[in-house]
Amino acid sequence: MGATRRRIGAGTVIVLALIAVAAVCVVSGILPSADAGALGLRTAPVLGFVVAITIVAELARDAGVFDVLAQRLARWGRGRVIALWASVVALAVVSTVFLSLDTTAVIGTPVVVVLAQSIGVSPLPFALATVWLANTASLALPVSNLTNLLAAPAIGADPAAFLALSWAPTLVGVLIPVALLTIVHRRTLFGAYRVPQAGTPSDRLLFWGSAGVLVVLLPMLTLTHDVWIPATAAALLMLVLFAVRRRHVLRLSLVPWQALGLAAALFVLVEAAHANGILDFLTSVAPSGHGMGALLQLAAMGAVTANGVNNLPAYLILEPAAGDPVALMALLIGVNLGPLITPWASLATLLWHHRIVALGVTISWPRFMLWGVVVAVPTVAVAGLVLALVAG
């Protein structure tokens, strides 16, 4: 009994409590059945994508795709840490843009941390780059962040319409954190290292099959609005491949149950609050128009709310106050680029911290929050200004 209690962490208890409250809202009618049905139709494809892309990423990791990629990056760096740094930044950005911020936090973090440790340099800048870029690069495409998937239907009919507004703020979201880390950790990043020997995957068929699925999947995610379809097809292909070659790794824990429960509960609770008029006051205090000041104010509101309660409910709370695609993008700047300060502002941050602690990397939360303020404030502000210029 004691062992069971130890296995249930505080995070799990909080998620279960939120699910219970959300269920009460639905069953009791606090969230009317019509609103609940509409919410289900809107969020089912979003949650389905999360399940599929998580399965793809986890199985690709098990096949050694990310480990081999990290080894290749180390060799391509030719002993120069700054070249390796550029490769790691590119890997974090590509992983976030196409496979979502949580994938970068869960799978990218151990790859880059172990890579840094294997060549004898401080893993801290690499670890911070992973978590910061997991959030700030997640503005790029609808698939990059759960908040984007929720906003995408109102922003445009296809990913190109989304990218037309997001590309410039995303560029800001990448450049400012990377520039700050490069300056602060310049002694480490402009050093040298001994190139490690290249490893080989234990199962070549699994490796090449998984790599092939990813190569086909990534462009598909940028070409279709219903991203859950190619992601689900890729997950099914990977499941079949592993059922034949490595059946023992197929387990229910591949599905991110806790993240799904948290997301679904937050969807219901915020929708119930909107249905009962609890959040109506936000539409009166939110700015209107596409002026630079209005967009900056909306982005700031998103960032502050995200650091207060988490970026997902922050988006849902403020969504009614953003009445058009440009305003929605300003809100996304706040809730995607802004949650770098508090530990709970983004699920990706909590997942990242769990991984780095397991790998022996320590950073205190006060220090993390201080650096988060330093990078989040200018990043959100400059991204908001750039959006105003692009939209104008």
DSSP for 307-347, written as a single string: HHH-HHHHHHHHGGG--SHHHHHHHHIIIIIS--SSGGG-H
Angle (nearest 5°) at CA 110 between 108 and 111 = 60
Closest to 306 (Cα-Cα) out of 371, 370, 376: 376
Dihedral (Cα; 327, 329, 331, 336), 10-degree rounding = 180
Q: 330, 299 in Cβ contact below 8 A?
A: yes
Q: Which amino acid is at 128?
A: L
Query: Is 378 exposed, middle or buried, given 0-12, 13-18 or 19+ CB atoms closer than 10 A?
Result: middle
In angstroms, the CA 100 to CA 106 distance is: 10
In angstroms, the CA 237 to CA 235 distance is: 5
To which residue do tokens 């790794």 refer? Answer: 249
Query: Is 113 exposed, middle or buried, given 0-12, 13-18 or 19+ CB atoms closer than 10 A?
Result: buried
SS3 190: coil
The tens place of each residue's pLDDT in the chain, 392 residues long, gives 444 444 566 667 888 888 999 999 999 999 999 988 988 888 888 788 878 888 888 898 888 887 787 777 777 878 889 998 998 999 899 989 988 888 888 778 888 887 888 788 889 999 999 999 999 999 999 989 989 988 999 998 678 899 999 999 999 999 999 999 999 999 989 988 887 776 678 889 999 999 999 889 888 877 777 878 998 999 999 999 999 999 988 988 888 787 788 878 888 888 888 788 877 776 666 666 678 888 999 999 999 999 988 888 889 888 888 888 999 999 999 999 999 999 888 878 877 887 787 678 888 889 999 999 999 999 999 999 999 999 87
The dihedral sign for the CA sequence 146, 149, 152, 158: positive
Token readout for 313 is: 């409910």
Token readout for 30 is: 């606090």
Q: What is the pLDDT of residue 1?
A: 41
Closest to 138 (Cα-Cα) out of 106, 104, 161: 104
Angle between helices 10-28 and 257-275 (to 10 degrees): 40
Length of the chain: 392
Q: Which amino acid is at 329?
A: M
Q: What is the pLDDT of residue 11?
A: 65
In angstroms, the CA 200 to CA 215 distance is: 19
Q: How many other β-carbons are positioned within 10 Å of the β-carbon of residue 112? A: 26
Q: 68, 197 in Cβ contact below 8 A?
A: no
In angstroms, the CA 213 to CA 190 distance is: 36
In angstroms, the CA 15 to CA 224 distance is: 32
Q: 188, 122 in Cβ contact below 8 A?
A: yes
DSSP class of residue 191 equals S
Which spans in the chain are helix H? 2-7, 10-28, 33-62, 65-76, 81-99, 101-103, 109-118, 124-136, 146-155, 159-184, 186-189, 204-223, 228-245, 257-275, 281-285, 292-309, 311-318, 325-332, 347-358, 365-391
SS (H, E, C) 62-104: HCCHHHHHHHHHHHHCCCEHHHHHHHHHHHHHHHHHHHCHHHH
